[in-house]
Amino acid sequence: MQNAMCMTMTLTLLAAGSLTPAQAREDKPLPPRPTVADVVKGAPASDWRALDPDNTLYLQTAAGRVVIELAPGFAPMHVANIKALAREHYFDGLAVIRSQDNYVVQWGDADEKNPKPVKTAKSALAAEFTIPVKNDKGFTRLAERDVYAAQVGHSNGFPVARDPKAGVAWMAHCYGVVGVGRDSDAGSGSGTSLYAVNGHAPRHLDRNITMVGRVVSGMPLLSTLPRGTGPLGFYEKPEQATPILAVSIAADVPEAERSKLEVMRTDSASFQAVINAQRNRGGPWTKYAPGHVELCNVTIPVREQK
């Protein structure tokens, strides 16, 4: 009956319309408009790009594979180091050690007393919290304002914020974005412990963390993990932690076993249509469309390669 499927129309509307938000009323349904699903379906092949196997990380748990797109443009040293860690099998046999509700899920070495030795990779790196704006290639600005930054938008598939006065850009802490854990010293992280955002964007962490990528598939494997009962959601007992079977670079995995995913180009017309579809949803379900979308509410579409 009505309620079991309530809200199902939010993402399944069809066709097009042109009412402005101010015209929306509960008693006067909005005309239908293209949905994100419509735009994704109609996007030409040229508006998609395959993941680069050299910059794709697979985190394997017993329940499945989490696929992370790495962002060397935002953190060249850390991405190189994480790849070195993966190649020396540093993460294999370690675990998800923290799951804090509405914040982050983190993986690495739970054993503080006898930490797993790092072999070929570096144990610490200079912080890469921001990059010069001139190095932020492919930035497409979002028209919307933002509470935390003067400018926001997307670069090469990643949500980005900018401070033009300081001349810097950084990846924003949206859902599924991956950062490098560290101690109080800005340069104490190296990629041996990583986390993904599992709740409302903790944007206060922006400019405080080296951001290295984004989960493009398998996020539920991380977001549904039981919350840790220790401070900050760390697990208190080793048996609570979810083992990491392996972390691999896609390029090192036989091609037949790779996840064949494509990300919509964020500098494409299709992506602008995705943004517009989220600013102005149409009827019959939607009664009011705000005409705006917040950075972390913008879907960055991912699909199976055709």
Contact string (CB under 8 A) for its own copies, positions 65-104, x = contact: --------------------------------x---xx-x
Residues in the chain, overall count: 306
Phi and psi at residue 98, in whole multiples of 5°? Answer: -150, 140
Q: Please list every residue from 187 through 216 that binds its own copies, using CB under 8 A.
A: 188-190, 192-193, 195, 199-209
Q: According to the binding rule CB under 8 A, does residue 284 interact with its own copies?
A: yes
Query: Judging by DSSP bridges, how do beta strands 95-99 and 211-217 pair with one another?
Result: unpaired
Q: Please list every residue from 229 through 268 that binds its own copies, using CB under 8 A.
A: 231-232, 234
- Minimum distance from residue 227 beta carbon to its own copies (Å): 4
Q: According to the binding rule CB under 8 A, does residue 2 interact with its own copies?
A: yes
Question: Nearest Cα to 193, choosing from 128, 103, 98?
Answer: 98
Q: Please list every residue from 167 through 186 that binds its own copies, using CB under 8 A.
A: 174-176, 180-186
- Minimum distance from residue 259 beta carbon to its own copies (Å): 17
- Minimum distance from residue 110 beta carbon to its own copies (Å): 6
Angle at 190 between CA 186 and CA 194, to 5 degrees: 100
Q: CB-wise, 47 or 206, nearer to its own copies?
A: 206
Q: According to the binding rule CB under 8 A, does residue 7 interact with its own copies?
A: yes
Exposure string for 10-26, b = 16+ CB within 10 A, e = fewer: eeebeeeeebeeeebee
**Binding test (CB under 8 A) with its own copies, winner from 84, 169, 249, 293:** 293
Which residues lie across from 152 on neighbouring strands? Answer: 161
Q: CB-wise, 12 or 135, nearer to its own copies?
A: 12
CB atoms within 10 A of CB 111: 12
Q: According to the binding rule CB under 8 A, does residue 294 interact with its own copies?
A: yes
Torsion sign, CA atoms 130, 76, 220, 182? negative
Distance in angstroms (rounded) separating the CA atoms of residues 48 and 300: 11
- Minimum distance from residue 256 beta carbon to its own copies (Å): 25
Q: CB-wise, 54 or 111, nearer to its own copies?
A: 111
Distance in angstroms (rounded) separating the CA atoms of residues 19 and 39: 19
Q: How many residues bind its own copies (CB under 8 A)?
A: 87
| DSSP three-state, residue 175 | coil
Q: CB-wise, 21 or 42, nearer to its own copies?
A: 21
Provide the Cα torsion 218, 72, 123, 65; round to 10°. 10
Contact string (CB under 8 A) for its own copies, positions 115-154, x = contact: x--------x--x-x--------------xxxxxx-----
